[in-house]
């Protein structure tokens, strides 16, 4: 199963929905989605990931890229992460820098 | 023991995960332990493909052997890319993991996740072959 990525601007918020498997082979698609929304200068980045079954460190690197690309004042929300994906985010300390939520808003 | 050979390119990672998923199911591993092993193998295979082969401008294969022993489900990855012990790269410290994303180095997390996720890890280099062994305990071994 590969990755599906959809992008939507909701006012000043950039919404990206990811589903499938996020590995090093397809992380570039996620990165492109970040680059696309970064141009709109969003105030918030909201990632809906309830359909994400697998995330490797390549996905974490795109989150780091997103923060560095958009600036530290842009808040990142990760919504609906499944157990293992949530565990990876927490083990890597990303829970200190992104908001992990079950639902949004 | 099941043996497979996959081309060392990133598109083959999904196949690697499928092979390990199947073996986890057959061995009766629970979802959490299965995911830890699948993630670990994915991360190490990613490193072999990118650092071991692609960055050297070379190509090749990764041999995968999966074995359910008495205590562990083991996955052995063998490649002939550049010699590289994943443990040689320093692990992120607690301080690194506490850093805000805006101050983070990109990279270094894959091996960390892999080594944290398995119960046993070994690397050997012999006759120009890298051998990475990743293993998780089987349920009956925990009793």
Q: Which domains does chain A have, with CATH numbers?
A: 6-101 (3.30.750.24)
pLDDT for B107 beyond 80: no
Name chain A contacts of B30, Cβ cutoff 8 Å. Answer: none
pLDDT for B46 beyond 80: yes
| Predicted pLDDT at B77 | 98
| Predicted pLDDT at B141 | 56
Q: How many domains does chain B have?
A: 1
Which DSSP string do the residues of B63-94 spell out, in sequence order?
EEEEEE-SSEEEEEEEE-SS---GGGSPPPPH
| Predicted pLDDT at A49 | 98
Say whether residue A58 is in contact with chain B using an 8 A CB cutoff: yes
Range of the domain at B20: 2-142
Helix %, strand %, coil % of chain A (to 5): 35, 35, 30
Q: How far is A105 from chain B (nearest CA, A)?
A: 23
Identity of the residue in B14, B35, B110 whose CB atom sits nearest the CB atom of A57: B110
Mean pLDDT throughout B75-85?
A: 96
CATH number at residue B108: 3.30.565.10
Number of other CB atoms surrounding residue B71 within 10 Å: 15
B contact test, residue of A29, A47, A93 with most B CBs within 10 A: A93
| Least-confidence region, from A75-84, B66-75, B79-88, B99-108 | B99-108
Say whether residue B57 is in contact with chain A using an 8 A CB cutoff: no
Name chain A contacts of B100, Cβ cutoff 8 Å. Answer: 67, 72, 96-97
Helix %, strand %, coil % of chain B (to 5): 50, 25, 25
Which class for B99: exposed (0-12), middle (13-18), buried (19 or more C-beta within 10 A)?
Answer: middle
Note down pLDDT in tens along chain A; length 105 residues.
Answer: 689 999 999 999 999 999 999 999 999 999 999 999 999 999 999 999 999 999 999 999 999 999 999 998 999 999 999 999 999 999 999 999 999 999 998
Name the pLDDT band for B106 (thresholds 50, 70, 90).
low
Number of other CB atoms surrounding residue B64 within 10 Å: 22
Q: Over the stretch A81-104, which tens digit does the pLDDT of each residue have? A: 999 999 999 999 999 999 999 999
pLDDT for B143 beyond 90: no
């Amino acid at each position: 199963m590969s990755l599906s990525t959809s992008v939507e601007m909701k006012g000043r918020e950039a919404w990206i929905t990811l589903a499938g498997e996020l590995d090093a082979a397809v992380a570039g698609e996620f990165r492109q989605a970040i680059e696309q929304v970064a141009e709109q200068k969003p105030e918030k980045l909201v990632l809906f990931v309830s359909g994400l079954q697998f995330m490797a460190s390549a996905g974490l690197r795109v989150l780091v890229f997103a923060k560095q690309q958009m600036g530290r004042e842009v808040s990142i929300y990760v919504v609906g992460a499944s157990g293992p994906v949530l565990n990876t985010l927490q083990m890597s300390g990303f829970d200190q820098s992104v908001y992990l939520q079950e639902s949004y808003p | 023991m099941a043996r497979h050979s996959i081309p060392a390119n990133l598109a083959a990672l999904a196949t690697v995960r499928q092979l390990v998923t199947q073996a986890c199911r057959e061995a009766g591993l629970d979802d959490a332990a299965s995911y830890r092993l699948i993630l670990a193998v994915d991360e190490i295979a990613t490193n072999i493909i990118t650092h071991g082969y692609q960055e050297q401008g070379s190509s090749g294969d990764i041999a995968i052997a999966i074995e359910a022993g008495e205590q562990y489900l083991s996955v052995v990855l063998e490649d002939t890319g550049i010699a590289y012990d994943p443990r040689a790269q320093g692990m992120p410290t607690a301080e690194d993991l506490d850093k805000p994303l805006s101050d983070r180095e990109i990279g270094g997390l894959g091996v960390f996740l892999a080594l944290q996720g398995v119960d046993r890890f070994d690397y050997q280099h012999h006759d120009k072959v890298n051998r990475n062994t990743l293993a998780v305990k089987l349920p009956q071994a925990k009793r």
